[in-house]
Amino acid sequence: MKSSGMKNLEEHFQLCTRGSESESDEDCCMKDEQYNITSAIPETCQELKECIIKRMPRKLHQQKNHPINLIKERIVSYFYKKFVGRTGNPVFSVYDNLDPIVTTHQNFDALLVPRNHVSRQKSDSYYLNSKYMLRAHTTAHQSDLISSGLDNFLIIGDVYRRDTVDSTHYPIFHQCDAVRLQTQHELFPEEWDLKVFEKRPDKRTDDKQAEHTVDAVRILSYQLKTTLQDLAKTLFGPDVEYRWVEAYFPFTHPSWELEIKHKGEWLELLGCGIMEHAIVAKAGAGDRIGWAFGLGLERVAMRVYDIPDIRLFWSTDRAFLQQFAVDDPFTAVKYKPVSVYPICVNDISFWIPPHGDFSQNDFFDIVRTVGGDMIEEVSLVDQFVHPKKRLTSHCYRITYRHMERTLTKTEVNAVHNEIGRRATEVLGVSVRMT
């Protein structure tokens, strides 16, 4: 199923490289002032294809024996076994091939994300134009799948976000979302005499939405929490320590996050909650109440397999991939570093343009785009305001390290200089000589 009535990615690029033959409003190729798929370089679609988008067709979650695929298989297998129909058939269906180009409506509006929500900022997401973007979460497909008549489904796919650069963040990562909708009849046996919906919408409280009864929310959140606790045990082992934390998402109420203890520290594993009734009703399932959750696959895979750096998932090195060549996704594998190559650290300092809207994510984006997987981390190590000039200076420390070879000083310098040049050109900063 397509996520929108639009062209797929290949067609998108054919169109773009051919020029603008079909300039309709529907066209994802029509750039406008919202376009920012890496502000760092691509002025043409051809260049665009060569950076972020060249990784889009790799679909790590569909690549057999890839660690992201193995985690996906573990989750799918858990849901297939846990929820079965009359004849033992799985009730959940899996959508792992939906187009990552979605409308801003699918990504935000259909999910009641407020107009001024931070996630809508240009510095946080990748926009093709003001109407189309690369999905920032797999939640973007929930409402369409409900509209198409589904009640129980998993959505798995690549998602795109502009973020910090370090060992756990990468502009493309993978998520799994799930939705389970139930009717009055499915939730409460006749004789219990309990209702899912209030006769007339009641007050919305911290514990529930106006339309739902206290009983329905209680039983549904119990189902949701036990399902997810068991999922955490399936992924991390029966002894995993977990805790529930109250949370906020525009598309669920009440909402929670599940945290697990990993190596002595609490780690947020997933977000979930009771779906906003307005979303469910608008998608044509107003007679149902639902729960939903979303989790990041890299975050799970890094812990389950002891993978120390998120860039490794993009490695095509056999020495990496072969470690995951197992038939059963539940096989215990611990990643053994093939070899660790030395780091090379270079600082860059610049004055930020006085009247611009400089965002750190724009700079991170440039670093990742120019340096690719040579970049291990970027951190702001110093900032100050010049008392007379009234200009702000930022100094970033860039750690270079390749996962598969030793970098030479010359190649690191070339990339470092190029980062400075691009930042000057695109962001209007002035690089300071140190």
The binding site for ligand DAH (CB under 6 A) comprises 137, 139, 177, 249, 251-252, 271-273, 292-294
Closest to ligand DAH by CB, 132 or 173: 173
Q: Which is nearer to ligand DAH, 110 or 403 (CB)?
A: 110
In the complex, the smallest distance separating the C-beta of residue 53 from ligand DAH, rounded to whole angstroms, is 21
CA distances from 428 to 73, 352, 353, 359, 388 (A): 46, 7, 6, 12, 20
Least distance in angstroms from the C-beta of 135 to ligand DAH: 10
Nearest alpha carbon to residue 377 among 388, 368, 386, 387: 368
CB of 290 to ligand DAH, least distance (A): 9
Shortest distance, position 279 Cβ to ligand DAH, whole Å: 10
CA atoms of 432 and 413, how far apart (whole Å) = 16
Burial pattern 14-41, b for ≥16 Cβ within 10 A else e, equals ebbeeeeeeeeeebbbbbeeebbbbbbb
Of 15 and 224, the one with the shorter C-beta distance to ligand DAH is 224
Comparison of 137 and 277: residue with beta carbon closer to ligand DAH: 137
Q: Of the two residues 100 and 294, which places its CB atom closer to ligand DAH in the complex?
A: 294
CB 358, min distance to ligand DAH, A:
26
The nearer residue to ligand DAH, 293 or 363, going by C-beta atoms, is 293
Residue least distant from ligand DAH (Cβ): 294
Report the distance separating Cα 39 and Cα 100, nearest Å: 19
Q: Provide, rounded to whole angstroms, the least separation between the CB of residue 271 and ligand DAH.
A: 3
Burial of 342 (0-12, 13-18, 19+ CB in 10 A): exposed
Q: 242-255: buried (b, 16+ CB within 10 Å) or exposed (e) per residue?
A: beeeebebbbbbbb
Q: How far is the CB of 139 from ligand DAH (least distance, A)?
A: 4
The nearest distance, CB 119 to ligand DAH, in angstroms, is 9
Q: How far is CA 238 from the centre of its chain?
A: 27
Question: Could you tell me where the beta strands, DSSP code E, fall in 263-361?
Answer: 265-275, 288-296, 344-351
CB-neighbour burial class of residue 89 (10 A; exposed 0-12, middle 13-18, buried 19+): exposed
Helix 360-371 / helix 409-422 crossing angle, nearest 10 deg: 140
Report the distance separating Cα 420 and Cα 412, nearest Å: 12
The smaller minimum CB distance to ligand DAH, of residues 16 and 270, is found at 270
Is the CA virtual torsion 391, 397, 402, 406 positive or negative?
Answer: positive
Nearer CB in complex with ligand DAH: 42/271: 271
Nearer to ligand DAH, 4 or 175 (CB): 175
In order of 10, 24, 182, 367, the CA distances from 194 in angstroms are 51, 52, 14, 57
CB of 319 to ligand DAH, least distance (A): 32
